[in-house]
């Protein structure tokens, strides 16, 4: 049994180690999913918000947050899902965008709320920076991602879809 030390900053630190189930290179904190944390004696309350509505990853995120905090000695751990607070890709922290790029995933443009306009914006290749890219229709999109192909360096890459 570990005795928890540190204040709420320590909790944020632990949550920064919990990866997003869809995009494991970024943490739930950098994804903008964790809304708030509150220490309550030896226990902790965490509020998270769903990313894509109906995303089955939500239950998984909640379990992972609970597990990570329990491992560090926090008990009880309460994770509340704030369904009224809407997440958008604009909530991505700058660190998350950098991580995506570093792992060859094109980050989303700023979402304006007009999805078809946002999807039509040019997408730069994370490998070579060229904007001469096309959606690779051989692969169907997921809720979160699309596959693109770069005509300049011929690499395929994933692009995180904008969501406003």
Q: How far is it, in rounded angstroms, from Cα 105 to Cα 107?
A: 6
Nearest approach in angstroms of CB 81 to Zn ion is 38
Q: Which of 110, 115, 143, 152 forms a contact with Zn ion (CB under 5 A)?
A: 152
Q: Which of 10, 47, 103, 127 binds Zn ion (CB under 5 A)?
A: 127
Distances (CA, A) of 97 to 7, 36, 47, 161: 28, 21, 23, 12
CB of 103 to Zn ion, least distance (A): 15
Q: Closest distance between Zn ion and the C-beta of residue 163, in Å?
A: 24
Query: Per-residue x/- mask for Zn ion, residues 77 to 116, rule CB under 5 A?
Result: ----------------------------------------
CB of 106 to Zn ion, least distance (A): 10
Number of residues binding to Zn ion, judged by CB under 5 A: 7
């Amino acid at each position: 049994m570990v005795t928890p030390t540190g204040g709420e900053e320590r909790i944020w630190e632990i949550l920064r180690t919990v990866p997003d189930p869809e995009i494991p290179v970024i943490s739930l904190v950098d994804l903008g999913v964790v809304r708030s944390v509150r220490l309550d004696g030896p226990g902790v309350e965490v509020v998270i918000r769903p990313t894509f509505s109906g995303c089955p990853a939500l239950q998984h995120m909640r379990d992972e947050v609970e597990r990570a905090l329990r491992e560090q000695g926090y008990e009880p751990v309460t994770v509340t899902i704030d369904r009224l607070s809407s997440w958008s890709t604009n909530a991505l922290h700058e660190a998350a965008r950098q991580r995506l790029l570093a792992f060859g995933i094109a980050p989303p443009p700023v979402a304006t709320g007009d999805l078809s306009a946002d999807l039509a914006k040019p997408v730069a290749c994370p490998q070579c920076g060229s904007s001469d890219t096309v959606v690779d229709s051989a692969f169907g999109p997921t809720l979160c991602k699309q596959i693109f192909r770069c005509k300049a360096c011929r690499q395929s890459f994933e692009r995180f879809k904008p969501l406003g």
